[in-house]
């Protein structure tokens, strides 16, 4: 199948395993994603309705603006994708504006700009909640016009909410299907990418998420969770079907980017 890609780049995006994931998502009236990220699974799924949440308020605001304003929002974003804005000085000027503005329209436009002009599409915040990804130094920057247009059309079926995963899972009803893509348990001490929102995602959060998944099966709801394949993670998801897929990952540092293949785990908590 052709994999539809999001208009945003996103750490841990699911475009590389979405075909495998689809095989484990049963039919239902609504797909609920408490960690929607850039929306790769949503874009490639086929449900009548979607309830899509994330703890990153800037991300959800941007999705909502594209959903509500479509072409007008696309055109406003396009205005920033010009060569004179692809310089370090201009990037840091616009990043400062993003961190200081209270205008939601402008903030969402700047989020798209920062996502595409920043370092490898990372999304990272200081403890004070300021976006602090450095300039990406790309010769050319792609403007995702068609991806934005498709996202806006598909979003007509969706509701986007900024919420903690616990709050969203409390809204699950019989007939729903749940897919959870939490910030992955890091493979090493130097690979912790859980700061995509101003608050961190802890091992306690992972444990609570697994508990919610188990409880929802008793209400007739199937829950699918993806994560790195680690012994502790497999133990955490005991009682679920465990499937392993190989996925390419871009490992980046200050000087270079390299692609490695890692094992990801898909845990399927089947409805009882």
| Residue 193 pLDDT level (bands cut at 50, 70, 90) | very low
Q: Which segment of 15-24, 32-41, 173-182, 241-250 scores lowest on mean pLDDT?
A: 241-250
**Tokens at residue 158, please?**
């969706």
pLDDT digits (tens, 9 = 90+) for 131-150: 999 999 999 999 999 999 99
Higher pLDDT, 199 or 66: 66
> Can you give the residue range of the structural domain that contains 172?
18-56+157-269
- Only one residue has tokens 């499937």, namely 243
**Domains identified in the chain, total number:** 2
Annotated binding residue 105: no
Residue 54 and residue 83 in contact, taking contact as beta carbons nearer than 8 Å: no
pLDDT at residue 190 is higher than 60: no
**Residue 265 sits in the same domain as residue 177:** yes
Q: In angstroms, what CA-CA distances link 30 with 73, 193, 200?
A: 27, 29, 28
What integer pLDDT is reported at residue 170 of this predicted model? 97
The strand pair at 257-269 and 158-162 is best described as unpaired
Q: Is residue 151 part of a domain?
A: no
CATH number at residue 45: 3.40.50.150
**Residue 195 sits in the same domain as residue 119:** no
Mean pLDDT taken over the chain? 92
pLDDT at residue 92 is higher than 50: yes
pLDDT at residue 12 is higher than 90: no
**Residue 190 sits in the same domain as residue 265:** yes
**Residue 52 sits in the same domain as residue 96:** no
Q: Which of 82, 117, 146 is the last residue of a domain?
A: 146
Q: Is residue 2 part of a domain?
A: no
**Residue 117 sits in the same domain as residue 48:** no
**Residue 124 sits in the same domain as residue 228:** no
CATH number at residue 85: 1.10.1020.10
Q: In angstroms, what CA-CA distances link 84 with 79, 99, 136, 226?
A: 11, 21, 14, 40
**Prediction pTM value:** 0.92
Annotated binding residue 10: yes
What integer pLDDT is reported at residue 252 of this predicted model? 53
Q: Is residue 84 part of a domain?
A: yes
**Residue 44 sits in the same domain as residue 28:** yes
Q: Is residue 227 part of a domain?
A: yes
The strand pair at 257-269 and 222-228 is best described as antiparallel
Higher pLDDT, 14 or 222: 222
pLDDT digits (tens, 9 = 90+) for 14-42: 888 999 999 999 999 999 999 999 999 99
């Amino acid at each position: 199948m052709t994999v539809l890609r999001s208009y945003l780049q996103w750490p841990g995006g699911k475009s590389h395993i979405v075909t495998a994931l689809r095989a484990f998502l049963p039919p239902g009236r609504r797909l609920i994603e408490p960690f929607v990220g850039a929306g790769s699974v949503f874009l490639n799924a086929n449900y009548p309705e979607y309830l899509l949440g994330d703890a990153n308020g800037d991300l959800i605001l941007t999705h909502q603006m594209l959903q509500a304003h479509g072409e007008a929002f696309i055109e406003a974003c396009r205005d920033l994708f010009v060569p004179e804005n692809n310089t370090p000085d201009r990037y840091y000027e616009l990043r400062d504006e993003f961190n200081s503005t209270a205008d939601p329209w402008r903030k969402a436009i700047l989020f798209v700009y920062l996502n595409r002009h920043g370092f490898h599409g990372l999304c990272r915040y200081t403890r004070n909640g300021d976006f602090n990804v450095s300039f990406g130094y790309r010769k050319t920057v792609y403007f995702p016009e068609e991806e934005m247009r498709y996202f806006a059309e598909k979003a007509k079926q969706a509701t986007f909410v900024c919420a903690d995963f616990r709050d969203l899972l409390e809204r699950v009803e019989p007939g729903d299907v749940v897919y959870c893509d939490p910030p992955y348990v890091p493979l090493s001490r130097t690979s912790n990418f859980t700061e995509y929102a101003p608050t961190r995602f802890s091992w306690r959060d992972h444990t609570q998420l697994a508990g919610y998944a188990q409880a929802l099966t008793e209400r007739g709801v199937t829950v699918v969770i993806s994560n790195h394949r680690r012994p502790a993670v497999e133990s955490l998801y005991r009682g679920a079907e465990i499937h392993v897929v190989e996925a390419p990952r871009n490992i980046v540092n200050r000087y270079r980017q390299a692609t490695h293949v890692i094992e990801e785990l898909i845990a399927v908590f089947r409805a009882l």
